[in-house]
Amino acid sequence: MRISVIGCGYLGAVHAASMAKLGHEVVAVDVDPVKIERLAAGDAPFFEPGLPEILSEAIESGRIRFTTDMSEVAGARVHFVAVGTPQGPTGAADLTYVDAAVAALTQYVAADEFVVGKSTVPVGTAARLATSLSAAVPGATLVWNPEFLREGFAVQDTISPDRLVYGVPSGAAGESAVAALDEVYATTLAEGTPRLVVDLATAELVKVSANAFLATKISFINAMAEIAEVVGADVTALADAIGHDARIGRKFLNAGLGFGGGCLPKDIRAFQARATELGVGESLAFLADVDAINLRRRAHVVTLAEDLLGGDVTGKHVAVLGLAFKPNSDDVRDSPSLDITARLHELGAVVSAYDPEANGTAARIHPEVHYVDSADEALRGADLVLVLTEWNEFRQLDPAVVAGLVGRPVVVDGRNCLDRDAWTAAGFTVRGMGR
């Protein structure tokens, strides 16, 4: 099938390359000429495992084309909208890019074609866009097909997702939309992936409520960590124990620095803002606490660092291991790790920060921080070690070797990812999260 993908960020670039991998002929559009040039040369503009491989394969097969020229989408049957919906100044989602993409698309979309939203939007957006699309192009149909991909597993989550959700209008237009999307995802559906067909509003809500639930689960366990810290209990053992209850489950119960990234923090704020607009703000009032618990973890680590450095970080050498919001990503959007790093620098600590992939993205946001090229370099002479993102490289560090590099053997395990006994045996004072 001929497919267009509008937006080549973390979502769109992976989606476009994955569609080509599934055998479709894809034209991918972005307004950023630098990004398009890199993608066209097979150079992924961000770190995502598996993306370089499927991108090269798609380019070699001739099934993908990258362009800044929207008119090239003409002739595609399905047009995916995968542009960003960043947080606006009030917390509500900024829909500028989605509105602009759909407005630009309407000039080239024909009747019997489908505009398929993938971006995360406030509930009600799809219905509004559907009205403007059918006014501009009678016979074209707008549908919503939310994306649940996790960074670091984006390719796998796109090609073999755990479910497909189609938000479609009722009647014949909805039926043709389902048939078209079934053709797009034929390979995925053949693997037995569950497919849910719902109305537009439900599809939009599925996405934001899934993220709100995940954020709540993380903040729940971080709230338990706060209590465990006071009473001397171990939140990891607690998570293991409650996680055995199949109704609760062990996943997303890792206490640590809390959630960051381009989705969960902004999505829970946008969801609250939308609920308030709809007059049901009370229904999501709890998300303000979810957000507050999450942000408290960052403040907690800064305070812990101050305590471990004798009350004042000024002039103290702090080794930061990890800047990305999670491992296997170079994304530092709303990253707890980078936030803590910048705060310690601001407080006067002499920070040496290292991330296997995110030094560059971090330096763009916080150029004032000192970044180094290896964990060893960061660790040398450190008064305090902070492990802030749980990359395997850090999990696998030999504490005996690290002990020989640092000035003082004190480590904060911000992700509860280190072998506490091994580090303690190597002479370290180890402070975890909620343990």
Residues with catalytic annotation?
263
Nearer to ligand UDX, 140 or 388 (CB): 388
Nearer to ligand UDX, 66 or 80 (CB): 80
Instruction: List the interface residues with ligand UDX, window 173-212 (CB under 6 A).
Output: 211
In Å, the largest CA–CA distance within the chain is 72
Nearer to ligand UDX, 167 or 258 (CB): 258
Nearer to ligand UDX, 297 or 366 (CB): 297
261: contact with ligand UDX by CB under 6 A = yes
Q: Which two tokens stand for residue 187?
A: 């390979």
Distance between CA 218 and CA 352 in Å, rounded?
29
Nearer to ligand UDX, 271 or 325 (CB): 325
Distance between CA 183 and CA 10 in Å, rounded?
24
For the CB of residue 162, give the shortest distance to ligand UDX in the complex, in Å: 9
148: contact with ligand UDX by CB under 6 A = yes
Compute how many other C-beta atoms are within 10 angstroms of the C-beta atom of residue 342: 19
Nearer to ligand UDX, 316 or 326 (CB): 326
For the CB of residue 147, give the shortest distance to ligand UDX in the complex, in Å: 6
Place of tokens 């812990």: 304
Q: Which two tokens stand for residue 90?
A: 């009030």
In one letter, which amino acid is 372? V
Which position among 70, 193, 252, 403 is part of the footprint of ligand UDX (CB under 6 A)? 252
Which position among 102, 218, 338, 351 is part of the footprint of ligand UDX (CB under 6 A)? 218
Which position among 256, 322, 414, 432 is part of the footprint of ligand UDX (CB under 6 A)? 256
User: Torsions phi, psi of 27, nearest 5?
Assistant: -115, 125
Number of residues interacting with ligand UDX: please give it, by CB under 6 A. Answer: 20
For the CB of residue 397, give the shortest distance to ligand UDX in the complex, in Å: 19
For the CB of residue 424, give the shortest distance to ligand UDX in the complex, in Å: 24
Place of tokens 């993205």: 361
Binding mask 289-308 for ligand UDX (x = CB under 6 A): --------------------
Which position among 30, 48, 113, 151 is part of the footprint of ligand UDX (CB under 6 A)? 151
Instruction: List the interface residues with ligand UDX, window 314-333 (CB under 6 A).
Output: 325-326
Query: Among the candidate windows 162-170, 257-265, 364-372, 421-429, which touches ligand UDX by CB under 6 A?
Result: 257-265
For the CB of residue 84, give the shortest distance to ligand UDX in the complex, in Å: 12
Interface with ligand UDX (CB under 6 A): 147-151, 211, 214, 218, 252-254, 256, 258-261, 263-264, 325-326
